[in-house]
Structure 1
Amino acid sequence: MAESMLGLKRSHRCTEVTTADAGKEVTVMGWVQKSRNKGGIIFVDLRDRSGLLQIIFEESECGAESFSKAERLRSEFVVAITGVVESRAGGVNENLATGAIEVRARDLRILSESETPPFPIEENSKTKEELRLKYRYLDLRRPDIQKNMMIRSQVATLARAFLAEEGFLEIETPTMIKSTPEGARDYLVPSRVHPGSFYALPQSPQLYKQLLMCSGYDRYFQLARCYRDEDLRADRQPEFTQIDMELSFVDVDDVLNVNERLLKKIFKEICNCDLPLPIERLTWREAMDRFGSDKPDMRFGMELNDVSELVKDTEFVVFKGALEMGGSVRAINAEGQGAMPRKKIDALVEYAKGFGAKGLAYLAINEDGTYKCSFSKFMTEEELHILAEALGGKPGDLLLFAADKDKVVFDVLGNLRLELARQLDLLKKNEFKFLWVTEFPLLEYSEEQGRYTAMHHPFTMPMDEDWAMIDTNPGAVRAKAYDIVLNGTEIGGGSVRIHQGDIQSKMLEILGFSKEQAQEQFGFLLDAFKFGVPPHAGLAYGLDRVIMLIVGADSIRDVIAFPKVKDASCLMSEAPAPVDSKQLEELRIGISKDSE
């Protein structure tokens, strides 16, 4: 039967008890991790969020009643124990923070009993994720998940403190807003008061933080909940948290500077990692040319090389065809992999096909300097030598070639580069390599929609020197946009915003909005631009992604308290779920039979 805490107060968390407390009486509370009855003496490992503490029960010390209760203890019972701290009689346990001490119990109260849990509460659980997420409240007791949650809290606290010191004001923006057509799909909320009308949950606080700049608040931030109805993957969730900020009277360098110092503080405090400043910058064009990605992993080399000029006269149909359709031939050097078996090379070819490649050409340089090449009959030994030399090839290296339209080539080699790094164990989770990617294209052409779309969003400022091309060559216009990348993952992004009404209206026109549509969707922003708008810029981090990389988790779900699974459902609460017909009637919503 559960007992009361009446008259008891916890004096310490488990790992707050130290050798300095030897001889003192303490009261600790938590969950039973393990209980071992050795006949006349019972050892209990007590667990709370701080860690483990060993408790010893002997009847002569704690009395018959407490000893009898101790004999009943099982995993996950919640207990309160009062006892005296002692040095460990059996020697120090180096694997525990409290390994030099133990508590000799004087009194035990069982605050709550537990059924046998469906899986062990332990670090690095081998239990299937589906079962753990069904019982997420138990999964959250596991020490590694609790550590993730505590680090998340520390990062949020550090970010708040740093930004407050830098003159930022924390201001909350609405979470029921007007739906806008750009970006991912919105989650919609029906209005009972306005039948047939809907709120949207925000994909970001973008428009509201720009309006706060219009309102003179100068520097804003918030830890904002955001929602996107999109297909999920390891680093995405339908609801997530941003560290969101906006600054007035600034340009690109000002935003990057304050954020570099924020990152330096966080990674020093949390990881004891000294982040060298300034962080390296690459333009989008250079990132794509060198790494085939706008979020390159900088922990290793294996850069792309354009060899189109060297092979332009070849009769090899794969190279020739790519160049004739305006594409390119590019290659990476997998150093030391020249002896890779044909079976593994074939597996890489299949992997590349998953990203649009029709195949992969290869040139292996044998240790004796001779070549093994998939296209050798189309090139002389001298031409192969020139090609290998251009790629820095040396005996023992493997050169891999992709030929197609640039977009396909970048996608293939950018991903192949990462796959090889995984196979060669080049991706160390405790190594942090940051990069700013700047000067993104303002627009990208959508074949599906037959029009230009905003690469970031419609409120991004074009580069001043490129704006003159907006009508004649819109695809060449660069944006004052920037992403912060960590170990090949985009952890944040932002831009200088358009603050002139005429440029904003023109941008919406280019995106296919009529004046009426622009006014209907963004009228409140366009109207605000009539009343004196300061130049402003901002950035938002995906807090969940940042924490995932800091703790070395493989999934974003391991750093969110109550995550969703791939179909955006919650296995624990079984959300989403049908609602009562009365609720639907109040909202004047009907469910079609096809949806049931």
Structure 2
Amino acid sequence: MAESMQGLHRTCRCAEVTTEMVGKEVTLMGWVAKARNKGGLVFVDLRDRSGIMQLIFENGSIDEEGFAKAGKLRSEFVIAVTGTVEKRGGAVNENLATGEIELRVKDLRVLAEADVPPFPIEENSKTKDEIRLKYRYLDLRRPDLQRNIMMKSKVAMLTRQFFAKEGFLEIETPMLGKSTPEGARDYLVPSRVHPGSFYGLPQSPQLYKQLLMCSGFDRYIQIARCFRDEDLRADRQPEFTQIDMELSFVDVDDVIDVNERYLAFLFKEVLDIDVKLPIQRITWQEAMDRFGSDKPDMRFGMELHDVSDIVKDCGFGVFTGALENGGSVRGINAEGQGAMPRKKIDKLVEFVKGYGAKGLAYIAIAEDGTRKSSFAKFMKDEEMDALVKAMDGKPGDLLLFAADKTKLVYDVLGALRLELAKQMNLLDKNEYRFVWVTEFPLLEWSEEENRFTAMHHPFTMLMEEDLPLLDTDPGKVRAKAYDIVLNGNEIGGGSVRIHQDDIQERMFEALGFTKEAAHEQFGFLLDAFKYGVPPHAGLAYGLDRLVMLMAKADTIRDVIAFPKVKDASCLMTQSPSQVSEAQLHELGLDLEPEKEEKEEE
């Protein structure tokens, strides 16, 4: 039977008890992590969010009724205990903060009994994700998950503290706004008051924060909830949290400066790690040429080599064909992997096919300098020598090549570089390597829509010197955009915004928008800009991804209290779910046609 807490007050949490408190009386409350009945002694590990305290129940220290209750304790019972802190009688547990002490209990109350949980509540659980997420409230009792969630809370608190000192104002922006389909798909909310009309849940507070700059608030910050109805991906969530900011009267360097100091402050306070400032900057083009990715992992080398000039006249048709079609030939040197078995190389070929490659050419250099190659018969000896030299190939190395359209070559070798780094154990989770990637392309060509689309959004400012290219060669225009990348993950990104009417108009033209279409979607922002808009810029971090890396977690689900699974559903609450006909009727929605189609099927 559950007992009441009447008259009982917790004095501290489990792991807040220290050796200085030996001899003192404390009251603790929490969950039974483990109970061991040794006959005349009962040992219990009591768990709360701070950690674990060992309890000892002994006849004589506690009355008979209390000792009998202690003997019946099972995992996940909720209990309150009062007792005296003692030095441990047995061996010290160095894995626990409270490993030198225990609590000799004189009073026990069972506040709630518990069924046997469907899986063990333990760190680094091996239980299937589906079961853990169905019982997420139990999964969240695991100490490792609790540490992650507490770290996220600390990051949010420190973020507010830092930006408040820097003169930022925390301002909330609406959840129910106008749907702006440029970008990812919006989640739509039907309006009962305006039948047939819909709100869009925010993909980001972008337009509102720019309006706040028009309103003169100058420095805005918000820890904002955002929603994107994106196609299914393993580590994407339909709702997520951004650390969102916007600043007036600034350029690129100002935004980067305040954010470098923020990251240094955050990593020192949370992880006691010194981030070396200034953080390295590379352009988007350099990132692609060196790493095949606009979010390069800088913890290891294995950079791309462009060997197009070396092989342009060779006899290997795969290389020359790619070059004749305007592509390139590039390679990476997997140092020390020259003895890789053929089966393993074949697996790498299959891996890159998943990224669109037709195949992978290779040269394996043995320790004695002899070579095995998939294309040697098409090359002269001197051509092979030149190729190996261009790749810095040494005895014991494995040289891998991709030849195709340059964008595809980047994708293939960028992914292959990371895959090899995993296989070669080059990715150290204890190392944090930041890099700014700057000067992104302003526009990218969409085959689907047969027009240029904004790589970031339509309000991104271009590099002033590239303005003439906007009409003649839009694909070559660089943006005043910047991403902050950590260990191969983009943790934040932003840009300087367009604040001049004439440039914004030309940007819309380049995107294929008529004046009417632009006004229909963004009229309220364009109208606001007529009344004096300051130069402004901003940046937003993905809070979940940032904390995931800081916590060394494997997925963002491990830093979100109640995450969705890959198909955007919640296994615990069984949402999304159907709603009543009455609710649909109130909203003016009719699902009948779909029902009839299913009946016909």
Could you tell me the TM-score, scaled by structure 1's length? 0.99
Displacement after TM superposition at 1:233 (Å): 2.8
Q: Equivalences for 1:12-411 in 2 at 5 Å? A: 12-411=12-411
- Equivalent residue, structure 2, for 1:569: 569
The whole-number CA distance in structure 2 between the counterparts of 1:30 and 1:505 is: 62
Amino acid at match of 2:39: G
Displacement after TM superposition at 1:92 (Å): 1.3
CA separation of 1:235/1:263 partners in 2, compared to 1, >3 Å: closer, same or farther? farther
- SS of residue in 1 equivalent to 2:435: strand
- Equivalent residue, structure 2, for 1:552: 552
The whole-number CA distance in structure 1 between the counterparts of 2:590 and 2:276 is: 58
- SS of residue in 2 equivalent to 1:235: coil
- SS of residue in 2 equivalent to 1:126: coil
> Are 1:415 and 2:415 matched, yes or no?
yes
Contact 1:234–1:554, Cα closer than 8 Å, also in 2: no
Q: Equivalences for 1:412-561 in 2 at 5 Å? A: 412-561=412-561
The whole-number CA distance in structure 2 between the counterparts of 1:562 and 1:153 is: 15
The whole-number CA distance in structure 1 between the counterparts of 2:348 and 2:71 is: 59
Contact 1:232–1:238, Cα closer than 8 Å, also in 2: no
Amino acid at match of 2:185: R
Residues 306-348 of structure 1 deviation map (CA, whole Å, 9 limit, x = unaligned):
0000111112110010000000010100101111111111111
Amino acid at match of 2:477: V
The whole-number CA distance in structure 2 between the counterparts of 1:60 and 1:366 is: 74
Contact 1:491–1:545, Cα closer than 8 Å, also in 2: yes
Contact 1:443–1:475, Cα closer than 8 Å, also in 2: yes
Residues 454-489 of structure 1 deviation map (CA, whole Å, 9 limit, x = unaligned):
001111001100011111111111000000111111
Displacement after TM superposition at 1:383 (Å): 1.7
Residues 61-85 of structure 1 deviation map (CA, whole Å, 9 limit, x = unaligned):
1111211211221110001000011
The whole-number CA distance in structure 1 between the counterparts of 2:592 and 2:230 is: 23
Displacement after TM superposition at 1:502 (Å): 2.1
Say what the alpha-carbon RMSD is for the aligned residues. 0.9
Residues 162-181 of structure 1 deviation map (CA, whole Å, 9 limit, x = unaligned):
00010000000000000012
Contact 2:362–2:399, Cα closer than 8 Å, also in 1: yes
The whole-number CA distance in structure 2 between the counterparts of 1:2 and 1:374 is: 73
Q: Which runs of 5+ in 2 are unaligned?
A: none
Displacement after TM superposition at 1:519 (Å): 1.0
Displacement after TM superposition at 1:444 (Å): 0.3
Q: Which runs of 5+ in 1 are unaligned?
A: none
Contact 2:213–2:219, Cα closer than 8 Å, also in 1: yes
The whole-number CA distance in structure 2 between the counterparts of 1:45 and 1:351 is: 47
The whole-number CA distance in structure 2 between the counterparts of 1:75 and 1:302 is: 50
Residues 504-547 of structure 1 deviation map (CA, whole Å, 9 limit, x = unaligned):
22212221221111111100000001001000000000000001
Amino acid at match of 2:129: E
Contact 2:236–2:566, Cα closer than 8 Å, also in 1: no
Contact 1:40–1:59, Cα closer than 8 Å, also in 2: yes
Amino acid at match of 2:390: A
Contact 1:284–1:437, Cα closer than 8 Å, also in 2: yes
Find runs of 4+ consecutive structure 1 residues off by over 4 angstroms.
none
Amino acid at match of 2:572: M
Indicate the larger mover: 469-478 or 377-386.
Answer: 377-386
Displacement after TM superposition at 1:102 (Å): 0.6
The whole-number CA distance in structure 1 between the counterparts of 2:150 and 2:17 is: 19
Residues 522-580 of structure 1 deviation map (CA, whole Å, 9 limit, x = unaligned):
00000001001000000000000001111111111010000000000000000100011
- SS of residue in 2 equivalent to 1:470: helix
Displacement after TM superposition at 1:41 (Å): 1.2
The whole-number CA distance in structure 2 between the counterparts of 1:92 and 1:371 is: 58
Contact 1:234–1:556, Cα closer than 8 Å, also in 2: no
Amino acid at match of 1:567: D
The aligned length equals: 596
- SS of residue in 1 equivalent to 2:467: helix
Indicate the larger mover: 109-118 or 65-74.
Answer: 65-74
Displacement after TM superposition at 1:385 (Å): 1.2
Displacement after TM superposition at 1:592 (Å): 3.7
Contact 1:231–1:566, Cα closer than 8 Å, also in 2: no
The whole-number CA distance in structure 1 between the counterparts of 2:232 and 2:24 is: 52
Amino acid at match of 2:357: A
Could you tell me the TM-score, scaled by structure 2's length? 0.98
Amino acid at match of 1:249: F
Amino acid at match of 2:55: I
- SS of residue in 2 equivalent to 1:321: helix
- SS of residue in 2 equivalent to 1:531: coil
- SS of residue in 1 equivalent to 2:155: helix
